[in-house]
Amino acid sequence: MKLLQLDGGQNKVVAAYSNRGDDIPVIDFLINVPSDMSSHVNGIQDLFERYAHHGRDGLTSVQFHESDKNKGIWAFRKGRLRIYCFIDEGQLIATHGAIKSTQKAKLSDVNRAERVKLRYFTDKQAGNIELEID
């Protein structure tokens, strides 16, 4: 698995992607957000920066919350935009984004983030994590 560093500080914020191609789900999502929500993309980037420099303490529970406590899946929130992620040793690993349409997080989004999390820890244990700094 490859990780692209999105923001650095005390706590790195990285985006996970496959070794099989250049598809980086978080970046692709943010680039392709509908134009009426594009102002929220900057807000998401600000939330990444705040997490990188202050950790969870720098964010409110509205901006950053646990989507599934049992699976350890978190989400950044700006308007209807959600960026799903998990945390490993203070490093935040973003998995993908979604436009939220209901009050509760979609199970499919939580499961997708969990699949990336499981693959990440398998690859980490095998020494197959590669960090790229943009």
For 16-64, write each residue's pLDDT tens digit. 998 666 789 999 999 999 999 989 999 999 999 999 999 999 999 999 9
Q: Which amino acid is at 132?
A: E
Tell me if 99 sits within 8 A of 37, measured CB to CB. yes
C-alpha atoms less than 13 angstroms from C-alpha of 33 in its C-beta half-sphere: 25
Band (71; pLDDT cuts 50, 70, 90)? very high
Distance, C-alpha 94 to centroid of its chain: 2
Q: What is the DSSP letter of 56?
A: G
Q: What is the DSSP letter of 35?
A: G
Domains identified in the chain, total number: 1
Domain of residue 55: give its range.
2-133
Q: What is the pLDDT of residues 17-26, one digit of tens each?
A: 986 667 899 9
SS3 98: strand
What is the pTM assigned to this prediction? Answer: 0.93
